[in-house]
Amino acid sequence: MENGAVYNETTEPQAKSPRRPFGCTLRHLWGWRLPAKALQAILSLLAVICEEIVEDCIKCGGLYFFEFTSCSAFLLSLLILCVYCTDVYETFGEEKVQKVNFWAMVAIGVWFLLASIVLAATSSGSAVEKAACAFGFLASSAFLAEIIVEYFLSRKQNVDRHTENPGNTQNATENQPLNKQS
């Protein structure tokens, strides 16, 4: 007993969870979410690249604002994509990740749209500025489209949840008296 023989037969070593390559998985990015996240990152990157190619600007304030916004949007979209693809998703939990994702997409979409409008208003009209502006509008629409889809999915989920649990109805069997009174 002192050598631990009693416990060897009944206890098993704790199974280790299988390691994923680089700790990455796409199981949380089901359906439309993976293409949407990829599109947001790609369009933001293209906006950053086009903005960086601009050689001369007349009113540079709008270009600098667009530069800051597009670069921030690209980095934040990559960060959120990394959260969905790594163990951080399980650490924070689905509800918190969804909430942060929703409000981050709102902020990014609105700021990107504002920055694109400012760039369009202050640009000198060069082809590269027009391309950056176009990618800015496309990226902001991708962020805002995700917000709209998420909003309608959450509403549908809330409606489905209410119909599954109708509450205390008068016709339910458990609300009827045990002995029928005549």
**Predicted pLDDT of residue 168:** 55
The closest alpha carbon to 77, from 51, 123, 39, 111, belongs to 39
Residue 18 pLDDT greater than 60, yes or no: no
Q: Is residue 123 part of a domain?
A: yes
Q: Are 130 and 53 in contact (CB under 8 A)?
A: no
Q: Is residue 36 part of a domain?
A: yes
**Predicted pLDDT of residue 120:** 93
Residue 171 pLDDT greater than 70, yes or no: no
- Structural domain span for residue 51: 31-154
Mean pLDDT of 54-59: 85
| Lookup: tokens for 150 | 């998420």
CB atoms within 10 A of CB 132: 28
Q: Is residue 4 part of a domain?
A: no
**Predicted pLDDT of residue 136:** 95
Residue 83 pLDDT greater than 60, yes or no: yes
Mean pLDDT of 21-30: 71
**DSSP state letters, 88-114:** HHHHH-HHHHHHHHHHHHHHHHHHHHH
**Predicted pLDDT of residue 174:** 63
**Predicted pLDDT of residue 70:** 95
Most confident residue range from 11-20, 110-119, 122-131: 110-119
Mean pLDDT of 52-61: 87
**Predicted pLDDT of residue 141:** 95
The number of distinct structural domains making up the chain is 1
Q: Is residue 5 part of a domain?
A: no
Place of tokens 């600007």: 57
**Predicted pLDDT of residue 15:** 60
Q: Is residue 26 part of a domain?
A: no
Q: Is residue 74 part of a domain?
A: yes
Total number of residues shown for the chain:
182
The closest alpha carbon to 118, from 57, 72, 61, belongs to 61
Q: Are 69 and 112 in contact (CB under 8 A)?
A: yes
Contacts of 29 (CB under 8 A, 6+ apart): 37, 81, 84, 85
Q: Is residue 166 part of a domain?
A: no
DSSP state letter for 169 = -
Q: Is residue 105 part of a domain?
A: yes
**Predicted pLDDT of residue 4:** 57
